[in-house]
Structure 1
Amino acid sequence: MKVFKGLFYCSIVILLNCSFAQASSIKSHISHQISPYDFVVAADGSGNFKTVQEAINSVPDFRKVPTTIFIKNGTYKEKINLSASKKLVKLIGESVEKTILTFDDWAQKKNTFGEEKGTSGSASFYIYGDGFVAENITFQNSAGPVGQAVALFVAGDKAKFTNCRMLGFQDTLYTYGHGSRQYYYKCYIEGTVDFIFGSSTAVFEDCEIFCKKAGYITASSSPDTAKYGYVFINSKIIGDAPENSFYLGRPWRPYAKSVFINCDLGKMIKAEGWNNWGKESNEKTAFYAEYNSKGSGANAKARVNWSHQLNETSVKAYTLTNIFNGWNPKE
């Protein structure tokens, strides 16, 4: 009888253990199924990967659906490359102030062969894959005021950044690629000389552009075939730069295009607004314009005579769908 009772109790314990194990397995499976993230990056080892590059490398090449990567708070010092085969990748930071992707290369820094890295080689993060999305992330080049030092190099098409920060000095944000369309929403971008530059078509909506020391906000190199270049909408130009120390832009290439619409311009903006980069011929090809600028840096009457002031009719062409040739990043 005692043997029977012992077997009975053992059977009950085994069944209970199996039930708990099965329930735990089901719970784990369900939890995995409902997680909004495919991968989690955490420097402390609590995620799937400790580095952002490892997570990116694990994204299948040419995947046709989005891959979402959550990055926990931390400072990730790594030089990151998202190749063209990594499409529809979405990075979400835990918080924009504490999720920091940074590196410290600069243009004159030597590579392993003793050659200068150059501006393009100085970037902390390269984005070549199409359909890239970033939210709540700080992109930084921590080299300091040592010349060209790119924080973010964006070449992929249909790139979208929301509530992100781009930190650096000269050449902070490189919008690379003639066919690349880029949308920056509620972002913070800081720098000194030409700190938003390149040939892409890019819109900066509800952004804060922070001017440090003295310099030029934009250095567009739009090709002659591009109808639009840089468009700033409802953004604020702020900073600690001295009064009358910044130009809205200068043309890196002859057909540069930059337009400011309904923007609040700080006192650091020079009355003349725009610079021709030492070439009078650029005045005939570059397109620089404003509409309804306000703030102490707004001075339509004092702007260079080769710039433009849009009117209520011409400004209507500046919709996201028109600027991006059919792509609306808000949809």
Structure 2
Amino acid sequence: MEKKFMRWVSSIHNGLRHSVFGPTHNMFLPSFSLTVDRNQCAGDFTSIQAAIDSLPLINVARVVIRVKPGTYIEKVSVSPFRAFITIQGAGADKTVIQWGDTAQTLGVNGKPMGTFKSATFAINAPYFIAKNITFKNTSPVPKSGQMGRQAVALRISGDRAAFMGCKFLGAQDTLYDHVGRHYYKDCYIEGSVDFIFGNALSLFEGCHVHAIAEKYGAVTAQSRMSFLDDTGFSFVRCKVTGSGVLYLGRAWGSFSRVVFAYTFMDSIIIPRGWNNWGDPNRQMTVFYGQYKCTGPGANHGGRVSWSRELTDEEAKPFISLNFIDGLEWIKL
């Protein structure tokens, strides 16, 4: 059984494992920059959306949009062909973008907009970068069992996106890590239930994950639906703190894949660690692992039998930029 498991790990991490994605290129050098300031006399634009909308519909050059200190109350969307945008704040505690939609908020058609459209900031284009800025959904923590309260702070649906020194603030479903390869470095992510969710291939490095759950909650809800999907979340040298009783992850997808490595876990982590989303069959197909984690919530002794304490060899594919093909497109 152990040999079969290792052959499986090797097969999903061979040189072709991310062939579903296209070739990558480094496009980090800026061609020009714009400034957003609430004072119309001090910048090029007073709103972030206006700055984005000023770019060509098909953008092929790196543009840096510098957002001056302040709270920008607006709902922002980056269209699919406006690639190579960098949003740079003056500091995550100084520059904040916020809105308050939830899944039950009525859209322009008079119907609830759903989780996907609830995002304060939505990115649909590749090669997006954000630095030193906060994305916030102001909807409060929902009561236990309350429906339609999913409230996304940021949704990333573009490939090859990087977030550095950013904050993502919300409650249920804070960060919709939808699709694509993504890198989060030194970020702060706050929420209550399933607050990092989606089917992207993402590396979280040096991030602080903080729960504000009133009772029960979950850090992740990774939605990998097939053995062939090259997706999953890896948390490396992170820390998990907060309130409530927390699962490390719930199996939103039948083949959900999440790994925590070198991560500090506070006592809020429920001993069994993982939840099968009410479907025992998923226990046979998910991939949930820990590697050299620390803290009172990291004890693997009480974990569910279908999660693993990874060996050095098993953990290796998950703990470097290679997990997201990052050496091709991330310039450190």
Smaller-chain TM-score range?
Answer: 0.7 to 0.9
2:119 paired with 1:123: yes
CA distance in 1 between counterparts of 2:153 and 2:35 reads: 23
Q: CA deviation at 1:309?
A: 1.1
Aligned counterpart, 1:144: 140
Q: Give a deviation string over 1:67-111, Cα, whole Å, max 9, x none.
A: 011000111111101011111000110121020011110011122
CA distance in 2 between counterparts of 1:320 and 1:129 reads: 24
CA distance in 2 between counterparts of 1:195 and 1:49 reads: 32
2:202 paired with 1:218: no
Q: What SS does the corresponding residue of 1:231 show, helix, strand or coil?
A: strand
2:267 paired with 1:267: yes
CA distance in 1 between counterparts of 2:294 and 2:91 reads: 31
State the identity %. 37
2:305 paired with 1:323: no
Q: CA deviation at 1:151?
A: 0.4
Q: CA deviation at 1:37?
A: 5.5
Aligned counterpart, 2:186: 186
Q: What SS does the corresponding residue of 1:281 show, helix, strand or coil?
A: helix
2:195 paired with 1:200: no
Q: Which 5+ residue runs of structure 2 have no aligned equivalent?
A: 1-29, 143-148
2:39 counterpart (41, 44, 67):
44
Aligned counterpart, 1:172: 174
Q: Tell which structure's C-alpha radius of gyration is larger.
A: 1
Aligned counterpart, 1:233: 236
CA distance in 1 between counterparts of 2:241 and 2:293 reads: 14
Q: CA deviation at 1:117?
A: 1.1
Which protein is richer in helix relative to its size? 1
**C-alpha contact 1:79 1:124 (8 A) present in aligned 2:** yes
Q: What SS does the corresponding residue of 1:55 show, helix, strand or coil?
A: helix
- Superposed, 1:1-331 pairs within 5 Å as 38-45=33-40, 46-146=42-142, 147-177=149-179, 180-213=180-213, 214-224=216-226, 225-239=228-242, 241-242=243-244, 245-325=245-325, 327=328, 329-331=330-332
CA distance in 2 between counterparts of 1:217 and 1:300 reads: 17
CA distance in 2 between counterparts of 1:253 and 1:104 reads: 27
Q: CA deviation at 1:318?
A: 2.2
TM-score (normalised: structure 1):
0.85
Q: What SS does the corresponding residue of 2:301 show, helix, strand or coil?
A: helix
Q: CA deviation at 1:322?
A: 3.0
Q: What SS does the corresponding residue of 2:296 show, helix, strand or coil?
A: coil
Q: Which moved more, 1:141-150 or 1:201-210?
A: 141-150
Return the letter of the residue paired with 1:127. Answer: I
CA distance in 1 between counterparts of 2:70 and 2:64 reads: 18
CA distance in 1 between counterparts of 2:293 and 2:61 reads: 41
**C-alpha contact 2:222 2:257 (8 A) present in aligned 1:** yes
CA distance in 1 between counterparts of 2:186 and 2:32 reads: 23
Q: CA deviation at 1:325?
A: 3.7
Q: CA deviation at 1:328?
A: 5.0
Runs of 4+ in 1 over 6 A off after TM superposition: none
Return the letter of the residue paired with 2:77. Answer: N
RMSD: 1.6
Return the letter of the residue paired with 2:175. Answer: L
Q: CA deviation at 1:60?
A: 1.9
Q: What SS does the corresponding residue of 2:259 show, helix, strand or coil?
A: strand
Q: CA deviation at 1:222?
A: 1.6
CA distance in 2 between counterparts of 1:284 and 1:149 reads: 31
TM-score (normalised: structure 2):
0.85
Higher relative contact order (CA 8 A, sep 6+): 2
Question: Residues 316, 278 of structure 1: CA spacing in aligned structure 2 closer, same or farther, 3 A cutoff?
Answer: same
CA distance in 1 between counterparts of 2:272 and 2:331 reads: 34
Q: What SS does the corresponding residue of 1:91 show, helix, strand or coil?
A: strand
CA distance in 1 between counterparts of 2:109 and 2:176 reads: 25
Q: Give a deviation string over 1:263-315, Cα, whole Å, max 9, x none.
A: 00011001101011111001011110000110010111111000011111222
Return the letter of the residue paired with 1:64. Answer: V
Q: What SS does the corresponding residue of 1:283 show, helix, strand or coil?
A: helix
Equivalent pairs, count: 292
Q: CA deviation at 1:62?
A: 2.8
CA distance in 2 between counterparts of 1:87 and 1:271 reads: 43
Return the letter of the residue paired with 2:232. Answer: G
**C-alpha contact 2:68 2:90 (8 A) present in aligned 1:** yes
Q: CA deviation at 1:330?
A: 4.0
Q: CA deviation at 1:42?
A: 0.2
